[in-house]
């Protein structure tokens, strides 16, 4: 394997719930660098197979190089929201488990140069799939109305100063187009009272999250992926969702509860599983991770 594999979050819990066995088939809907995938592949062996999905072509190319000798990994550059249309074509019409490790990765922050981080001066892009959509964060901040900007800031970023930020964006773009992440950070800082900028998180965190979700239509993608994925599970097959902010976690919780009431699944995790202190020390990204899981009911 040529490239370093990223550190997977809540790996122990994922493996305990899935309990992968030789010959089984799995789908990793957000395969990223292949951290979870590698451990599952090691357990299912050459008789098993894993479909690794990611919307980002750059990540899929890196994955192919990393796992160049792994014949039972099938990497696919698609959205997991469309898995019902292509999974069967790759031999994954019924699977033992499906994993969703949601959110963006360290690759997007450190190497993609698409403006995911407010700590780097980059173009305001924020697209996972640069071919599927023309909508970028730059287009949103320079063309959307004050009302729409405030709405996504509040709804997707849970930003209490969303209205003020939206107002400043619309005012400033009349004089100069907003091109870069640092342009936007400056606007956000000028829109938030200084006392409110002294918290644990960077003042731009919530608005950047809101823009990323809007650009990639993330919540709708998650909803469709969960519902379609459950249909692909074999009886007693399991689905795991790892989320990193409250909106994703709430969506997983709501979807699983609805499916349980319909008699389709049994919820394994009555409360979300979280990382222990040791994992958080070695991998700070795990601090906000929440894991929920269900098992498909035999009908």
Q: Which CATH class is domain 111-216?
A: mainly alpha
C-alpha to C-alpha distance for 125 and 59, rounded to whole angstroms: 16
C-alpha to C-alpha distance for 228 and 110, rounded to whole angstroms: 32
The pLDDT of residue 3 is: 43
Rounded to the nearest integer, the mean pLDDT of the chain is 91
Q: Is the pLDDT of residue 71 over 70?
A: yes
pLDDT-based confidence at 57, cuts 50/70/90?
A: confident
Judged on CB neighbours under 10 Å (0-12, 13-18, 19+), 150 is buried
The pLDDT of residue 58 is: 83
The pLDDT of residue 115 is: 84
Q: Is the pLDDT of residue 278 over 90?
A: yes
Q: Which two tokens stand for residue 144?
A: 């959307």
Residue 248, SS3 per DSSP: helix
The least confident of 69-73, 129-133, 245-249 is 129-133
Q: Is the pLDDT of residue 1 over 50?
A: no
What's the rounded mean pLDDT across residues 204-210?
A: 94
The pLDDT of residue 129 is: 81
> Within the chain, where are the H helices?
11-18, 35-44, 57-66, 83-86, 106-110, 137-143, 146-157, 162-173, 181-191, 205-216, 218-232, 246-261, 277-282
pLDDT-based confidence at 277, cuts 50/70/90?
A: very high
Q: Is the pLDDT of residue 45 over 70?
A: yes
C-alpha to C-alpha distance for 39 and 153, rounded to whole angstroms: 37
Q: Is the pLDDT of residue 104 over 70?
A: no
Cα dihedral sign, 226-227-232-236: positive
Domain ranges of the chain: 11-107+219-296, 111-216
Q: Is the pLDDT of residue 198 over 60?
A: yes
Nearest residue to 262 (alpha-carbon basis) of 231, 220, 219, 223:
231
Q: Is the pLDDT of residue 138 over 90?
A: yes
What are the C-alpha distances in Å from 221 to residues 91, 122, 225? 22, 26, 6
The pLDDT of residue 284 is: 85
Pick the CATH number of 11-107+219-296 from 3.90.1150.10, 2.40.37.10, 3.40.1180.10, 3.40.50.150: 3.40.50.150
> Within 80-126, where are the H helices?
83-86, 106-110
């Amino acid at each position: 394997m040529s490239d370093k594999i990223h550190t997977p979050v809540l790996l122990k819990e994922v493996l305990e719930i899935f309990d992968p066995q030789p010959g089984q088939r799995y789908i990793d809907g957000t395969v990223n660098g292949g951290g979870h995938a590698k451990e599952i592949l090691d357990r299912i062996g050459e008789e098993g197979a894993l479909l690794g999905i990611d919307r980002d072509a750059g990540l899929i190319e890196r994955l192919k190089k990393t796992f160049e000798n792994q014949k039972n990994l099938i990497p696919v550059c698609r959205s997991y929201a469309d898995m019902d249309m292509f999974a069967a074509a790759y031999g994954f019409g019924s699977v033992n488990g499906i994993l969703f490790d949601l959110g963006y990765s360290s690759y997007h922050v450190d190497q993609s140069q698409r403006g995911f981080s407010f700590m780097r001066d980059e173009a305001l892009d924020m697209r996972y799939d640069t071919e599927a959509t023309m909508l970028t964060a730059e287009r949103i901040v320079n063309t959307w109305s004050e009302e729409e900007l405030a709405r996504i800031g509040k709804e997707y970023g849970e930003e209490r100063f969303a209205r003020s930020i939206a107002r400043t964006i619309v005012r400033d773009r009349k004089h100069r187009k907003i091109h870069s992440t640092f342009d936007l950070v400056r606007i956000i800082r000028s829109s938030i009272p200084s006392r409110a900028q002294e918290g644990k998180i960077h003042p731009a965190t919530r608005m950047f999250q809101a823009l990323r979700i809007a650009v990639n239509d993330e919540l709708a993608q998650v909803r469709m992926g969960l519902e379609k994925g459950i249909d692909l599970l074999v009886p007693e097959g399991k689905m795991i969702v790892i989320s990193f902010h409250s909106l994703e976690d709430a969506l997983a919780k709501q979807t699983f509860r609805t499916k349980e009431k319909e008699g389709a699944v049994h919820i394994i995790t009555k409360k979300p599983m979280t990382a222990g202190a040791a994992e958080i020390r070695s991998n700070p990204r795990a601090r906000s991770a929440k894991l929920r899981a269900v098992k498909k009911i035999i009908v």
